[in-house]
């Protein structure tokens, strides 16, 4: 029983350390700017539905889409903002250590949250292909 408690506390500590590292990283998200042509918001909504992202909130001209529930894998986010003659996308994963949250760019290096970053990068690149834009590396 004591081993279970110690193991649980060690796991919680490790997740919070990873969230702190992500928060202090100099690369919290990828930003992609595309020229606003056509109905990009409708294209993003269609893309989100096809890739399992759901709209979690709208703040002014920004729509925030999320995939995942922070269970077994870090949630993936895409923020889509209409900004006059351009459309700005912010893509990242989030490490939630319960006490600390940290964002990590999809193109970040290292092994932290590698699987969700890879999955999200593939989905975002699919959107960028649809919009005829350069892909994330």
In a domain, 123, yes or no: yes
In a domain, 136, yes or no: no
Sign (positive/negative) of CA torsion 102, 104, 108, 112?
Answer: positive
In a domain, 122, yes or no: yes
Alpha-carbon distance of 54 to 50, in angstroms, equals: 10
Query: pLDDT digits over 17-58, tens only?
Result: 665 565 656 679 999 999 988 889 999 999 999 999 999 999
Please give the distance of CA 101 from its chain centroid, rounded to a whole number. Answer: 13
Number of domains in the chain: 1
Query: pLDDT digits over 77-98, tens only?
Result: 999 999 888 999 999 999 887 7
Alpha-carbon distance of 24 to 97, in angstroms, equals: 14
Task: Give the pLDDT score at 99.
Answer: 79
In a domain, 76, yes or no: yes
Residue pointed to by tokens 């279970």: 4
Task: Give the pLDDT score at 23.
Answer: 60
Residue pointed to by tokens 């096809």: 50
pTM comes to: 0.85
Please say if the pLDDT value at position 108 is more than 60.
Answer: yes
Task: Give the pLDDT score at 73.
Answer: 81
Alpha-carbon distance of 62 to 44, in angstroms, equals: 12
Task: Give the pLDDT score at 117.
Answer: 93
Give the other-Cβ count within 10 Å of 114's Cβ: 14
Alpha-carbon distances, residue 117 vs 30, 45, 52, 58, 79 (angstroms): 11, 20, 15, 23, 15
In a domain, 115, yes or no: yes
Range of the domain at 102: 2-130
Kindly state the average pLDDT of the residues 52-72: 92
The domain that holds 39 is classified in CATH as 3.30.310.80
In a domain, 135, yes or no: no
Alpha-carbon distance of 134 to 118, in angstroms, equals: 17
In a domain, 137, yes or no: no
Alpha-carbon distance of 55 to 61, in angstroms, equals: 13
């Amino acid at each position: 029983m004591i081993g279970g408690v110690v193991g649980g506390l060690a796991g919680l500590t490790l997740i919070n350390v990873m969230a702190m590292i992500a928060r202090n990283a100099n690369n919290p998200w990828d930003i992609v700017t595309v020229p606003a042509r056509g109905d990009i918001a409708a294209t993003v909504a269609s893309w989100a539905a096809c890739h399992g992202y759901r709209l979690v909130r709208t703040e002014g001209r920004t729509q925030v889409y999320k995939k995942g529930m922070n269970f077994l894998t870090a949630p993936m986010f895409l923020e889509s903002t209409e900004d006059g003659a351009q459309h700005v996308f912010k893509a990242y994963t989030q490490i939630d250590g319960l006490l600390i949250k940290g964002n990590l760019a999809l193109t970040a290096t290292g092994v932290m949250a590698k699987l969700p970053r890879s999955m999200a990068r593939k989905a975002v690149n699919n959107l960028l292909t649809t919009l005829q834009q350069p892909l994330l590396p």
